[in-house]
Amino acid sequence: MQDDRENRIRERAHAIWEQEGRPEGRHADHWMQAEQEAGSAGQQPQENAGSAAAPSLSSGDDAAPGTPGTGEDVCPECQGSGQVAGSECRNCGGTGIVNKGIAGG
Ligand SMILES: [Zn+2]
């Protein structure tokens, strides 16, 4: 896979070398120049492409009310009793049930 790119770089470096009148001892410079050209031509800019297309569903909206297995849950503060230390549980308002979709906001 990498041979193809390397071959292109080699050919490009050779072309640059000939363009410059075949100077001696400039192989590394030509290779680097060819490598840069190959790199910028073969790769697409990835500054904005990657994360822009990511779905934005996963921030609390994915569990709609009424979805089986989600939504209401036993209150972790009172373990579903609705009371903490003899008084009404503030976390669930005394119901012993919390709605996962709403709680935490
Ligand atoms: Zn509670």
pLDDT in tens, 79-92: 999 999 999 999 99
Query: Residue 97 in 3-state DSSP?
Result: strand
CA of 98 to the centre of ligand 1 (A): 7
Torsion from C-alpha of 65, 66, 70, 71, nearest 10 degrees: 50
Tell me which residue range forms the domain holding 7.
2-42
Instruction: Decide if 83 is inside a domain.
Output: yes
CA of 72 to the centre of ligand 1 (A): 12
Instruction: Decide if 53 is inside a domain.
Output: no
pLDDT in tens, 20-39: 999 999 999 999 999 998 87
Instruction: Decide if 60 is inside a domain.
Output: no
Higher pLDDT, 32 or 62: 32
CA of 93 to the centre of ligand 1 (A): 6
| Model pLDDT, residue 100 | 77
Instruction: Decide if 63 is inside a domain.
Output: no
How many domains does the chain fold into?
A: 2
CA of 69 to the centre of ligand 1 (A): 19
What is the reported pTM? Answer: 0.36
Instruction: Decide if 51 is inside a domain.
Output: no
Instruction: Decide if 55 is inside a domain.
Output: no
CA of 35 to the centre of ligand 1 (A): 64
CA of 5 to the centre of ligand 1 (A): 63
